[in-house]
């Protein structure tokens, strides 16, 4: 689908907030947006939208392409295509196609962010060869900085480009764009990237870090991974700390860190492939992550450094947290994870590890099991349920999360039933465990190997065909119990 009419209208509205004096000149575009035809379709007449990329280097020069057909020097651009998610993504695609750049070679400017720098109206002559009458283009132009110190080598599109030049602002051929660039130069449009997003590295001062599980939806950055709270700067934000305070208030009202101190600058990749410098601010907060209202994303969780290797994290986040933890040791030293936690268990109580396990059967009554990696510390080269350890979360929430992370299966909590529990212990020297086996009545998706360092294959097994020596013992016991209709079994405590 091409960019939606509502997206285009919002983009033009944002532009006219800055350039209200151009409303009359853009009446033709506004009429197209009020009409019934697709505004970005090249068949829409008497005019339609095109998009261009204004690429600025560190010497305050703008990339221009000399077009073979006309001989004109123009900023890279062209018609919107059906696969373009937004007008900005259309501009990115055009410059990458025409000049051979990669989206990661570009980043947003802090002065304009994702808003157009210029919207130009120009006449297009009739082209009998294409059957196109004379019409108008409403060219929506977006500014980008190069991420590198020097412009990368260009790989021009031979059929359209006869050459390329970098022109200083005063030499830019489009009068409307030239005027905008010269005005923006006074506001600091200098070609030097700086952070346009901010993230909060929230910790409690005792070794825990607050992570945010993102939605698994289209247009979400790094969907279904644990990341930091935060977001992009808007033109109304006075600084990046203001951006962060606003984002926290929007995403998790009531979560107010006592301080936010700039800690690092990281780089991420946007949904359009652009490079995004992010200013990471560290802040202190020690509230209940499950008690606050979460308006965006799936959940908030407190995690410790020793848990990071078991989590699916935003790229570079594990290293960032470890660096902060090394520079800011937890008060009183790291928690002791071998003994009972203070104030949580009476003296003499043995704490247990709780694991969730997924039992699903296909239309042939076969059970889904995964073959664990041969280098796995637990049960290498054996078949096991899809499973995971409960963190500070409800067991069914854990099951839903693990199913998505490990195999790409989507399960609704209301479609889950507890069908068996195994109370087991491997030796007197380790903590005992409680294995909760849940059966999902329905699910979406086909099993995929998403954590190949743990599971190398998913396979559907008939219970009678399970290899006796290659199934985790308590998994085998649970399957037998389910088939016999028993809700509970034990292992390692003495046979019953």
The alpha helices in 66-209, defined as continuous H runs, are: 87-99, 175-185
Q: Express each pLDDT in 43-80 by its tens digit.
A: 999 999 999 999 999 999 999 999 988 889 999 999 99
Instruction: Using the predicted structure, report yes or no on whether residue 334 has a pLDDT greater than 80.
Output: no
Q: Express each pLDDT in 126-172 by its tens digit.
A: 989 888 899 999 999 999 999 999 999 999 998 888 999 999 999 99
Residue the block writes with tokens 């979406």: 444
Lowest mean pLDDT among 267-276, 314-323, 338-347: 338-347
SS3 state at 14: helix
Which uninterrupted H or E stretch holds 288? none
Q: How far apart are CA 445 and CA 229, in angstroms?
A: 28
pLDDT confidence of residue 337: 41
Per the CB < 8 A criterion, the answer to whether 261 and 282 are in contact is: yes
Per the CB < 8 A criterion, the answer to whether 299 and 210 are in contact is: no
Q: Express each pLDDT in 7-49 by its tens digit.
A: 999 999 999 999 999 999 999 999 999 999 999 999 999 999 9
pLDDT confidence of residue 338: 39
Taking each helix axis from N to C end, the angle separating 27-34 and 5-18, rounded to the nearest 10 degrees, works out to 150
């Amino acid at each position: 689908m091409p960019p939606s009419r509502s997206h285009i209208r919002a983009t033009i509205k944002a532009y006219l907030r800055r350039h209200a004096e151009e409303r009359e000149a853009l009446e033709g575009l506004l009429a197209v947006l009020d009409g019934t035809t697709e505004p970005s379709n090249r068949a829409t007449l008497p005019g339609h939208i095109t998009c261009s990329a204004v690429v600025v280097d560190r010497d305050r020069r703008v990339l221009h392409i000399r077009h073979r057909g006309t001989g004109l020097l123009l900023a890279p651009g062209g018609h919107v295509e059906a696969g373009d998610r937004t007008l900005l993504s259309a501009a990115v695609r055009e410059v990458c196609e025409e000049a051979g750049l990669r989206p990661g070679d570009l980043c947003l400017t802090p002065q304009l962010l994702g808003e157009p720098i210029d919207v130009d109206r120009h006449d297009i002559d009739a082209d009998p060869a294409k059957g196109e009458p004379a019409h108008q283009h409403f060219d929506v132009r977006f500014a980008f900085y190069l991420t590198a110190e020097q412009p990368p080598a260009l790989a021009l599109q031979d059929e359209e480009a006869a050459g390329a030049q970098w022109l200083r602002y005063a030499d830019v051929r489009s009068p409307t764009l030239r005027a905008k660039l010269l005005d923006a130069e006074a506001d600091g449009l200098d070609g030097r990237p700086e952070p346009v997003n901010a993230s909060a590295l929230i910790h409690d001062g005792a070794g825990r870090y607050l992570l945010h599980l993102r939605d698994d939806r289209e247009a979400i950055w790094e969907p279904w991974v644990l990341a930091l709270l935060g977001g992009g700067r808007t033109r109304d934000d006075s600084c990046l700390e203001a951006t962060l305070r606003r984002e926290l208030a929007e995403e998790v009202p009531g979560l107010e860190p006592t301080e936010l101190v700039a800690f690092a600058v990281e780089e991420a990749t946007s949904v359009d492939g652009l490079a995004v410098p992010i200013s990471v601010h560290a802040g202190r907060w020690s509230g209940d992550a499950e008690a606050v209202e979460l308006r965006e994303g799936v959940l908030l969780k407190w995690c410790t450094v020793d848990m990071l290797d078991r989590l699916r994290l935003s790229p570079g986040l594990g290293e960032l947290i470890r660096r902060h933890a090394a520079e800011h040791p937890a008060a009183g030293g790291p928690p002791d994870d071998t003994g009972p936690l203070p104030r949580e268990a009476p003296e003499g109580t043995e704490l247990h590890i709780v694991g969730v396990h997924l039992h699903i059967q296909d239309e042939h009554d076969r059970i889904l099991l995964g073959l664990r990696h041969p280098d796995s510390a637990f049960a290498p080269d054996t078949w096991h349920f899809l499973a995971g350890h409960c963190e500070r979360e409800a067991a069914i929430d854990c099951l839903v999360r693990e199913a998505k992370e490990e195999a790409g299966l989507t399960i609704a909590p209301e479609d889950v039933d507890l069908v068996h529990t195994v109370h087991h212990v491997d030796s007197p020297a380790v903590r005992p465990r409680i294995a909760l086996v849940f059966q999902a009545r329905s699910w979406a998706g086909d099993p995929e190997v998403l954590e190949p360092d743990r599971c190398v294959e998913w396979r559907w097994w008939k219970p009678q065909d399970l290899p006796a020596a290659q199934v985790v013992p308590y998994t085998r016991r649970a399957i037998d119990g389910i088939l016999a209709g028993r809700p509970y079994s034990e292992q390692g405590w003495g046979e019953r």
